[in-house]
Chains A and B, each alone.
Chain A
């Protein structure tokens, strides 16, 4: 297969793929349990270095997620908040993976609440999921299709876990995905970096907050040229 010959076929949908009515920001698991609870557990086990690193990363991403959410709200882009939360009092409806690591808070518990700094506004959608990948344990796909969403802007916790699982599921279901790398965090920067590398190669367009805000600004100005020339979709081979 010649690359030049196949270029057109490999790009069946050229042009901008960011449109306000068809885009949603999906913020993953920025809830009390992930932001505060897990860290306390690890701290109790004596692993202070790791927890401090994680706490510092989370502190850095919260203001970025806040700005991205507010910018999306201004543009009329749907903001959707995912969280790990069970539908029963004891978490018996959670995936076995979640039960095995005690991620079983029910919807009404404080652990399942989105943290104040990036809390939902008005009638924004909050979806509880019972698995790492949102497409396996929530009705995210159904909700996105009803809203007519084709493109996702993804932020949240933790990068190599629920974020990566959800992005993989989204790309298989035909959504275009932007992962805002510096608005995601993981326990270790190593896991974070490896995850973004793999996501960027196969599944998503990995950007930082500044770049994403630039695209959203172009959307506001209705700058079609900036939108069609800016975002680079993932393609192989791209080897770091």
Chain B
């Protein structure tokens, strides 16, 4: 609560959260109705592919070569948890008949010349059809599910991402994937700017640095989206539970 008495004001770390809850949040919530049901809600899984999730490939191999063994260990532990939770989300969303969108970093050329120089520099690119562009085993797309290849952090930076979701009639996104502070955060910010309702599934995301994961989730929660964990989303999905109420389910 925002208090009128400065002596009982919350610590600065919580100020933005206090600003949004509950006054601003009540304004926000009154302006929308976004149940987690077909046909307007979709699960968006971001970069759950070998390049970013397989410790032996892509990012992991590069980090290991650079001597970041500790970091590699931490990150892939988090990725394993995120992938397990994403698998639960995927099953629940399929059961409830929600649209599922799989997006991955995948480019058209062998040498990545169609990738921006920044992503190229990071090594965050993989040729479409290559091993590194493959989705993780339990998270394979089914034939009728949308697969969106990208060469950018944000799903919405390419015009196509926004347009395909609009064509599907999607206005609510259940978002999960890697990495929290890069592609996931860019996508969540853009989604909010473009008017989507987003639930970020915190424990189905991972970042190189746990500290950045937490900070990113906290900040997105203040302004850009709702945050919930897998358990809550799995319980709410398919029910007429509003985005803003998911955290209160189960």
List the interface of chain A (C-beta within 8 A of B). Answer: 1-3, 6, 9-13, 42, 45-50, 53, 95-97, 99-102, 131-133, 135-137, 160-161, 164-165, 168-169, 171-174, 187-188, 190-191, 194-195, 197-198, 201-203, 233-237, 239-240
The reply to whether A3 and B194 contact each other, CB–CB distance below 8 Å, is no
List the interface of chain B (C-beta within 8 A of A). Answer: 2-6, 9-10, 12-13, 15-16, 18-20, 24, 27-28, 31-32, 58-59, 61-63, 65-66, 68, 71, 111-113, 116-118, 120-123, 152-154, 156-157, 181-182, 185-186, 189-190, 192-195, 208-209, 212, 215-216, 219, 223-224
The reply to whether B122 and A13 contact each other, CB–CB distance below 8 Å, is no
Cβ–Cβ < 8 Å partners of B120 in chain A: 9-10, 12
- Give me 7 other A-B pairs in contact (C-beta within 8 A), A11-B121, A190-B12 excluded: A12-B120, A46-B4, A47-B15, A136-B194, A168-B186, A201-B181, A235-B122
**Contacting residue for B118 out of A96, A135, A171, CB 8 A:** A171
The reply to whether B13 and A190 contact each other, CB–CB distance below 8 Å, is yes
| 3 A-B pairs with the lowest CB-CB distances in the bound complex, closest first | A136-B193, A172-B157, A131-B193
Beyond A100-B27, A172-B153, A172-B157, is A132–B189 a contact (Cβ under 8 Å)? yes
The reply to whether A3 and B62 contact each other, CB–CB distance below 8 Å, is yes
**Contacting residue for B9 out of A49, A173, A233, CB 8 A:** A49
Cβ–Cβ < 8 Å partners of B24 in chain A: 100-101
Cβ–Cβ < 8 Å partners of A13 in chain B: 117
CB distance from B159 to the nearest CB of A (A): 11
A105 to B41, CA, bound (A): 32
A95 to B192, CA, bound (A): 8
The reply to whether A50 and B122 contact each other, CB–CB distance below 8 Å, is no
Question: Can you show 13 pairs from A to B with CB atoms below 8 A apart?
Answer: A10-B123, A45-B4, A50-B9, A96-B192, A101-B223, A136-B190, A168-B189, A169-B186, A172-B116, A187-B15, A188-B12, A198-B181, A234-B121
